[in-house]
Structures are given as structure tokens and as C-alpha cells.
Amino acid sequence: MKDHFHTPLRQTPFHPRTSALNRLNQWGAWAGYTTALAFDDEAMEYTAIRNGASLYDLCPMVKYRITGPDAAAYLNRLTIRNAAKLSVGGVHYTVWCDDAGKVLDDGTLFRHGAEDFMLCCQERHLPWLLDSATGYEVQVREVTEEVAALSLQGPCSAAVLQAAGFDMCNLRPFRMAKLGFEGVEITISRTGFTGDLGYEIWATPAQALPLWDALMRAGAPWGIRPIGTSALNLARIEAGFIITNMDFIPADQAVREDRARSPFELSLDWMIDWEKGHFTGRRALLAEKARGSSWALVGLDIEGNVSAEGSLIYHNRKTEVGHVTAAAWSPATKRNIALAQVRRPHHTGDTLWVEVYALRELQYHKLMLRAHVTERPFFAPARRRATPPGAF
């Protein structure tokens, strides 16, 4: 793009609508795009996620189309899960590692056809993906700018879709369906980043504004709201989901060797398919499985109601054993929760202490708060998996 340095952040196809609604004028950068952090009331945006319906612009998410006769074999070599087992119309969560078994990124893999996949993730990895394709009859292409994506989340999201003319009541979690809109095919998947009932809608940029208008119009009786990244982040913490460059550093970006993390250290080893054959990082992960890991990513319950984000974690109040990567007071569970990286063996249920600095009238007060390792997700309503969804 000529003279791109004059406008370093691009606008998504939904920007004419999101900019008009952003009363707070709060914007952030995401993968080279301008994205809304909050529109008018962050608390009400969170409430829409948990009690109504919410709409979030997903366009900046990095997307790759992977096609060809060897597409499944290539993805088996690239990722730790078995892509060949993913049926057409299915979606699964996955990660991929470097040769040392350290995570490069996580993302969702969509299978559109026998030889047609789409991989969505946080960071850009085209050179790595192309290098990994050597020897395979496969084409890898970034399609981020070709896809306009929206996330429709909340207990009323199925009702909103039905009111808009999209009956998704029989669509199961991690499945997708194709249907027509404005004379062009769109894809709706039962996926999301809130840990609640929700869907993601994949269209073309030309369909973006009519799609936004149709959903906002259909969702009016359910109080649908556009939401920003701040409200979504609170929901994802409650769901126990991790984010690249917030909860872990991609191995190719880590300046210090001890900062990268393996699937074992991120509690993602449940995805590893040891029987599918070789994949990048397999030997290193087998060695780690035999000797044990250094770190664990855990959920914490922390006393009080002061958010502990960025805090250090101690054993016996004096030995540093980890740090909090994400934290919040959870409105849904009425708990002070956190995601944290903790040195083993302190991840097994010891009473830990979190050093929190609370800002009170321009002065910071140091608090040493008790914390207990707890199960994730912190919030997991049955409606997120109910098929058909309940009527809300």
C-alpha cells in the first residue's frame, strides 16, 4: 500500500459503524488495525456478554487459508493436534511449536473441505508456515483482508441470529454452517472467546455493513450492544482462556530463552496427539514429558477484591515462585480471580501469597493476599454447550 506510513493502522470493514458508536473514543491497535477498546460503558458491555447479546469486530484476527492435497498432512506436521481427525464443518483449538517444543502461537482451525482449512491466530506467522510447507503439496495464503468477521456472543445470541433469518439452533459447539446473505455465502461457526453461548460470522468485506445492520436491527429486542476489547478481556479471563503476548510470549519473539513456554507449561498438553506421527517439537516434548516441566499455568482464587494483574507470587510470603498474567474481579462468580505462571511444584495446591499494590487516593498500599490454586474455567454456564440453545 503506497505511503502506508502515513496511516500505520488500517480500518476494518466495520469501522464506519464502530466509529459512529464509539462515544468514549477509546481505540487500540490490534495486528495493524484500529480496534475499539470500549464504546460507552464497559460494565454494560460486559453485562451484554453475560445477560444479553454482544457484537465484537473480529476482522484484525490473522487468518490463513491452507489448501491442497496435503493440507491435512501439513497441518499434522505443523500443529500438536491431529488435523486429519477434524471433520469437514468442524473447528478445533490448537497450538504449534518450534523445534525446542516451545509454543509459537495458539489459534482455531476450521475445516471447510477435505483439502481446505482456515487457521486463525493472534500473531503473523507466514514465513514459518511457508517454511513448514516444504515438501508438501499445499498452498498457504494470508486472507486477513479478505474476511470480515464478527463475534456474536451471549445467552441471547441464538435468538438474535434466528430473528435475523439465520436458524442456528441445531448447530453444535465447534461446528460451522454455510448459508446465504445478500446473495453471497457466509459461514457461521459456534465458536467464541467468552466461554458463553456464542457464534462467529465470517463474510466478505462487501457484506460487512449490511451484516452489521441486520444483526443490530434483529438484536434490538434483546438489548444487543457493540463491545470493545476491555469487556471481552474480562469475559475471557472468567473463561480461563489465554492470549498470546499477555499470558505467554511466542517462542520466536522471546528475547530471553527462559521466557518461552511449552504446551505442558501452559496446561495445553491435553491436545498433543502422540500417535499421529512426527510434528515440530515432538522430540523435545517427549523429553520434557519424561523429565518434567519447570512451569505451570494455573487459575488462582485471591482473597479480597483488588485486581492482582501483574503481581508477583510468593511461597511462605518470601520466596518468589511466579507471577500473575491476567486478573480481574469477576462479576459473574463474585470472586477475585487470576491466571498465573507458577514454578513447579508450587502449582499443586499450596497456599500462595500475591503481592498487590492497591492505588488508594494517589498512594499505593502494599497488600500480601492469600491465593489458592483453583480449576479453570472460573465461569462455565451449561448454556455454552446446550444444543439446541435455551430460549433467553
- pLDDT digits over 265-295, tens only? 999 999 999 999 999 999 999 999 999 999 9
- Residue 142, domain member (yes or no): no
Would you say residue 380 has pLDDT above 70?
A: yes
Q: Give the predicted TM-score (pTM) of the model.
A: 0.95
* CA–CA dist 225, 303 (Å, integer): 32
Claim to verify: residue 228 and residue 153 sit in the same structural domain: yes
- Residue 345, domain member (yes or no): yes
**The last residue of a domain, from among 239, 257, 276:** 239
* CA–CA dist 41, 56 (Å, integer): 15
* The pLDDT value given to residue 41: 96
What pLDDT digit, counting tens, does each position of 151-174 carry?
999 999 999 999 999 999 999 999
Claim to verify: residue 232 and residue 338 sit in the same structural domain: no
Q: How confident is the model at residue 5 (pLDDT cuts 50, 70, 90)?
A: low
Give the cell for residue 180.
Answer: 446465504
Number of structural domains the chain divides into: 2
* CA–CA dist 158, 167 (Å, integer): 8
Grouping H, G, I as helix, E, B as strand and the rest as coil, residue 285 is helix
Name the binding residues for substrate: 200
* CA–CA dist 83, 63 (Å, integer): 17
* The pLDDT value given to residue 182: 87
Q: CA nearest 262: which of 277, 276, 280, 239? A: 280
- Residue 384, domain member (yes or no): no
Give me the percent of the chain exceeding a pLDDT of 90.
Answer: 93
Grouping H, G, I as helix, E, B as strand and the rest as coil, residue 245 is coil
| DSSP 8-state class, residue 100 | T
**Which residue range forms the structural domain that includes residue 340?**
294-374
* The pLDDT value given to residue 6: 65
Claim to verify: residue 51 and residue 151 sit in the same structural domain: yes
Claim to verify: residue 52 and residue 166 sit in the same structural domain: yes
Claim to verify: residue 167 and residue 230 sit in the same structural domain: yes
Claim to verify: residue 215 and residue 313 sit in the same structural domain: no
* The pLDDT value given to residue 392: 84
- Residue 225, domain member (yes or no): yes
Q: How confident is the model at residue 348 (pLDDT cuts 50, 70, 90)?
A: confident
254-282 per-residue burial string, b: 16 or more CB within 10 A, e: under 16: eeeeeebbbbbbbbbeeebbeebeebbbb
CATH of residue 29: 3.30.1360.120
Cβ count within 10 A of residue 248: 26
Give the cell for residue 128.
Answer: 514459518
What pLDDT digit, counting tens, does each position of 312-341 carry?
999 999 899 999 999 999 999 999 999 999
**The last residue of a domain, from among 196, 222, 239:** 239
Would you say residue 147 has pLDDT above 90?
A: yes
Claim to verify: residue 176 and residue 42 sit in the same structural domain: yes
For cell 500462595, the residue is 352
44-72 per-residue burial string, b: 16 or more CB within 10 A, e: under 16: bbbbbbbbbbbbbbbbbbbbbbbbbebbb
- Residue 100, domain member (yes or no): no
* 226 within 8 A of 36, measured Cβ to Cβ: yes
Claim to verify: residue 184 and residue 301 sit in the same structural domain: no
* CA–CA dist 75, 83 (Å, integer): 6
The radius of gyration of the chain's CA atoms, rounded to the nearest angstrom, is 21
| DSSP 8-state class, residue 382 | G
Would you say residue 1 has pLDDT above 70?
A: no
- Residue 267, domain member (yes or no): no
* 55 within 8 A of 150, measured Cβ to Cβ: yes
Would you say residue 18 has pLDDT above 60?
A: yes
Question: Mean pLDDT over all residues of the chain?
Answer: 96
Give me the percent of the chain exceeding a pLDDT of 70.
Answer: 98
Q: Determine the average pLDDT of the residues in 141-145.
A: 97
- Residue 123, domain member (yes or no): no
CATH of residue 359: 2.40.30.110
Claim to verify: residue 201 and residue 299 sit in the same structural domain: no
Claim to verify: residue 52 and residue 157 sit in the same structural domain: yes
Question: Residue 243 burial by CB count (10 A; 0-12/13-18/19+): exposed, middle or buried?
Answer: middle
Q: How confident is the model at residue 116 (pLDDT cuts 50, 70, 90)?
A: very high
Claim to verify: residue 49 and residue 159 sit in the same structural domain: yes
Q: What are the phi and psi torsion angles at 95 (to 5°)?
A: -140, 165
**The last residue of a domain, from among 239, 260, 279:** 239
- Residue 179, domain member (yes or no): yes
What pLDDT digit, counting tens, does each position of 233-248 carry?
999 999 999 999 999 9
Would you say residue 23 has pLDDT above 90?
A: yes
Sequence-distant (≥ 6) Cβ neighbours of residue 295 within 8 angstroms: 261, 265, 322, 341, 342, 343, 344
Q: CA nearest 174: which of 255, 95, 89, 115? A: 89
Name the binding residues: 200
Claim to verify: residue 174 and residue 314 sit in the same structural domain: no
